[in-house]
A and B are shown apart, each in its own frame.
Chain A
Amino acid sequence: MSGEPTGALRFSLRRVGVLAEHAFLEAVRQRVFQFTTLLAAVLVAGSLGLRELDFGGAELKFVADFGQGALVLFGSVLTIVTTVQLLGGELENRTVLPVLARPVRRSEFICGKFLGAWAVVLVFCAVVTALLLAALWLRASTLPAPLPEAPNVRVAALPYAGVLAGGVLQAVKFGLLTAMVLLIGSYAQSNLFAQASSFLVLAVCHLQYLARDAWQAGHGWLERLGGGLIGLVFPNFQLFGGEYLTAGADGAALVLVGRVALYGLVYTAVFLSLAVWSFRRREI
């Protein structure tokens, strides 16, 4: 019946695709996706209600920052909860047994979960970023014209490219976070432990720059060594903030976006490989 060839079972993108589609379907049918997306959308739309504050061009930056904050906060929650549920839930409920009893490599299983979870977060990022751009356009169209004494303030051109680049970088960051959560889930014995550890790792990654500072300017060798190790193992999530991009999308800024995205993708590949290695050793 099976259309598979005989012999050794090679890594198959087809099976990864089937597993990813399954994971995506599971995640979008969960309430956490619907709830976080709705909440982030409400927050972005709510930023339009701040009409009594007339900041001119600065108001658009305020709206952009507000929206980016919603994207970062709810995107992080969505990534961790969804990924833990997709892997840990499957292990806890033992729904993984008939799947791994199929001709499926464990590396395919982890890669499928990764792609499925990341796809969900990409949808979230796309929806929130699109809403944020729409909110900015709506608000910019109702702002007063630039004052004669400040003709260089072109409010409508200010934050769009930055918001778009910020959305892309956050999507890359959430992919990296997905890989890190999968690594934790590959050896965690409970969902609670996996979620708590993942939020801790998220905090460490956001504060990683402190470790790098300690490495470069620490007082003792212990502080320098500890800072160096943390700075090396954990990626710096502050890089994905994109604050430096809000001034526009000139060539240098685009190169910077590319370099940060590459930095995120390299870390993602490393953590995903570790997750596969760890899951292959796990007894189910």
Chain B
Amino acid sequence: MAANKTDPAQRPPAIEIRRLTKDYPLPGGRQRVRAVDDLSLRVHPGQVYGLLGPNGSGKSTTLKALLGLLRPTLGDCLLAGVPGSDPAAHRAIGYLPEAPYFPRFLSGRELLRFHAKLAGVPRAGREERIAALLRRVGLAHAADRRVGAYSKGMLQRVGLAQALVADPPILILDEPTAGVDPGGAADIAALILEQKARGRTVLLCSHLLTQIEEICDRVAILHRGRLLAEGALDELLGRCGRQSLVVENLPPEELAAFEDWLAERGGRLHAVERPAARLDRFFLQTLERAERATEASAVGTGGGAR
């Protein structure tokens, strides 16, 4: 029983898709195109689950069917055990649509207020929560600016804030980092991990495989509506039981000795590769260094002025 409480895989799934099939009629109505074909998935509480696939693979259709915005041709979708087509199921979720558009006439704060009211967030503490969320996604400075004047990255950030406004246990994020600069994408990844640490379940679609790899526990790969692969990242990438050491200036004879040393202890050298520096990390580190330098010079200048 104790295991049931601690192991997320033993608890009822937060999201369950059972044999989902979705056909769209082609113009004329006689022929149909299959967007999702017999898809089954389970996302357990506390997991970050990535839905991967090229454009047109059925990811967004799957999410829309899950939210009851589309009627499945076959199969069903459950959110916290309730059919996604039942609006009551939406109490448990926060949703960020792909390339989010929000009413241009509202300010960021008004947008969050509107969604908070719709979600039934109590009046007491509502404004404080909205202000905190705007700060968290880095939009405090633009809170009272019209959404129509927001950049793509700011729209994603305010979209994420609206998804979080009712503090839902399940987050469904469709391309949360699309159009966001690498720094912003890293912020969003950190925010998703923060939600995971709080026990929230996250289902997300993304094209940024590096980011998926960093934040997801499990992934599913879709192609033309069919599930090609599904599982924990370590299993899929064959990383179970493996470690990597990065060494510098090791002569070839020493490498052979190291291999022997490993064999004596029951280990095996799997591969010797030249470690590649990751461009995204290099980019972020360069920006961070520049930020620190700017801050340091600002402090210096400010100190002198005073």
Contact = CB atoms under 8 A, between A and B. Distances in A.
A25 B103 CA distance: 11
A12 to B, nearest CB: 9
Interface string B58-90: 000000100111110000000000000011101
Contact of B88 (A8, A22, A101): A8
Nearest to A108: B87
What is the interface residue range for chain B against chain A?
A: 35 or more
Given A97-B69, A98-B162, A101-B69, A3 B101 contact: no
A15 B118 contact: yes
Nearest to B114: A22
A284 interface: yes
Interface in A1-37: 1-4, 6-9, 15, 18-19, 22, 25-26, 29-30
B117 A101 contact: no
Interface in A176-194: none
B49 interface: no
Contacts of B114: 18, 22
B12 interface: no
B87 A2 contact: no
A284 B67 CA distance: 10
Nearest to B110: A25
Q: Which of A7, A15, A97, A98 has the most CB of B within 10 A?
A: A98
Given A18-B114, A98-B95, A101-B90, A2 B120 contact: yes
A105 interface: yes
Given A1-B166, A3-B122, A18-B114, A104 B90 contact: yes
A154 interface: no
Contact of B120 (A4, A97, A283): A4
A97 B162 CA distance: 12
A105 B115 contact: no
26 contacts: A1-B119, A1-B168, A2-B121, A2-B168, A3-B122, A7-B88, A8-B88, A15-B118, A18-B117, A26-B103, A30-B105, A97-B97, A98-B115, A98-B162, A99-B118, A100-B68, A101-B95, A101-B97, A102-B115, A102-B119, A103-B91, A103-B118, A103-B120, A105-B87, A106-B87, A283-B71
Interface of B: 64, 67-71, 86-88, 90-91, 93, 95-97, 100-103, 105-106, 114-115, 117-122, 129, 159, 162-163, 166-168, 172
Interface of A: 1-4, 6-9, 15, 18-19, 22, 25-26, 29-30, 93-95, 97-106, 283-284
